[in-house]
Chain A
């Protein structure tokens, strides 16, 4: 069974469109994250939610809006997509304490044309 699953795996869209990426985890974890991996493989945290509450919000444009309907789901909605948004977006979850490792999904490759 997939522990952290993201959909879709690939997303190709045009500039200006609005798109969403969904993430679900079945590990019973309280904390979920969104990371962005750029073309040079650099990973940067975007958001973190603990039990549906936002706890980390890095300097991400407000075109990006995370939503956590329950602690097993953390979706990412992106408005007015730009070329620079092209990247691989990873969802992850953890048991919540700093020493708990992150469990990652397989990523969503977003290409904005």
Chain B
């Protein structure tokens, strides 16, 4: 079975600073990887995904994540954060061909002015 570990439960950063949210996964077979964002009192929204091809994937609001198979990681990064990025971020993994999406524990990103 697959599993996901988000190494930081909370990450506080200052506005316009860079940020990295770490995600490691465990699976004996090939997987698809996702990052979702949850703003307060809302459901989750897809931020970006890795299915195949280029290991660097980007979102429309400046986030990017890199799939590293040897380190079984899919860390999320942004070079300069905004107050509006304050949210809970979830890394998730699904085994290719399966439908059970497993989430990490979430990382709360707090942006300080």
Contact = CB atoms under 8 A, between A and B. Distances in A.
Interface in B94-111: 94-103, 105-106, 108
Nearest to B108: A41
Interface residues of A, number: 27
Contacts of B46: 101-103
A99 interface: yes
Interface string B48-88: 01010000000000000000000000000000000000001
Given A40-B105, A41-B105, A43-B90, A98 B44 contact: no
A95 B11 CA distance: 33
B32 A50 contact: no
A48 B43 contact: no
Contacts of B88: 41
Contacts of A94: 99
Contacts of B102: 45
5 contacts: A43-B90, A43-B103, A45-B101, A48-B100, A90-B43
Give the 3 A-B residue pairs with the shortest CB-CB distance, closest first. A104-B43, A101-B46, A43-B103
